[in-house]
Structure 1
Amino acid sequence: MKRLVTLLVFCLLISISDVAAAGGTITGTVHLPNTERGMHIGRGEGGAAMMWDMSAPKNRKRSERAEIWLIERGINFTALPYAAVQKWYQQGTIPANQPIYHAVVNEQGQFTFQDVPAAEYYVMILDPNGKEGNQNLADKMTRDELTKKLPHADEFELFMVGMRSCLVQKVSLRNGQTINIRPSVF
């Protein structure tokens, strides 16, 4: 009987650790303006149009790469010390034990967050080129929602975003799920 109880407890612990370790994956591709595949909006007196940079040399790659921040929507920012928030904003150092993740896109503009715990997240994309981003109303409302939650939002805008455009989208990730983000056009 004692062996049976020990075996059941062992199996229970293994199953709990498997559930706790389960997570999901968030991937995506960001095409920046003035790259081979990047497009931008041209505005003039006659209206607006979508344009690609046809004068760019073939297979040209930009050395600048977009930064992607993944921030859990339910994070308790008020529990973070001011010094930790400053280090995050100014140096990119993620506060310890916080559901905040960071990636930089590769040469093809792709990014991946693997084994992320199931939760609702803000996906924040920072364009390194400093161009004004083209945001739809939902993206703007999501950015405003995130900014209201961030401590010292003025410092966030100054140090983290700066002159770059910042696109924010919401995602809801379940265990074992893979989400492919299709960001709005920069």
Structure 2
Amino acid sequence: MINLKQIRIITVLITAILFANLTYGQTDSTKDQDSEFQTVFGKSGEKTNISGFGALMLDFGNIEHNLGLNIGIDGAVLINQSFYVGIYGQALATTPSYTYEVYSDNNKTFNLTRNAFLGHGGLLVGYIFSPNSPIHVGLSTRFGMGGISLFEDFVHQPYDPSKPYYYENPYIAPLYVFSPQLDLEMNLTK
């Protein structure tokens, strides 16, 4: 029987393999200038260049004195090599444990340990300044929603067929994300 940890590892590996080729960013079109489409929103005599990018994300941080690893993916439509709009998704790959005090009906307290899971996704908006320079700066922001949940760790406990196959008494809370970024980018090849 496959446990939750094995499923998580398999999911991370499959995601990394499937999206490894999506890390193209700011591709320069080498098409003939006369064969490109004119657009309604372009200036007179100028043509709008539409391309895109996608990337894998890895974020490391401290979660309750443990290493926290976030993995995710983002992708966007890039207009004139400067402005982009897209989507992103991110989830916690590690499961940190939290121990907290719980009060029972007879006013006694006991410690309860739960594992945490966090995930969020949403809109990605950004602007790249001087995209034709070898080194340039960009600003972007992620606006998203998600959730954080605390649940029992049934993976490390002995199998009990009388228990249902789901997390008992999970605590789930909504999460809203506003994450501004300052990017430093390089054009390596043309």
TM-score by length of 2: 0.24
Greater percentage in strand:
2
Structure label with greater radius of gyration: 2
Structure with the larger RCO, 1 or 2 (CA within 8 Å, 6+ apart): 1
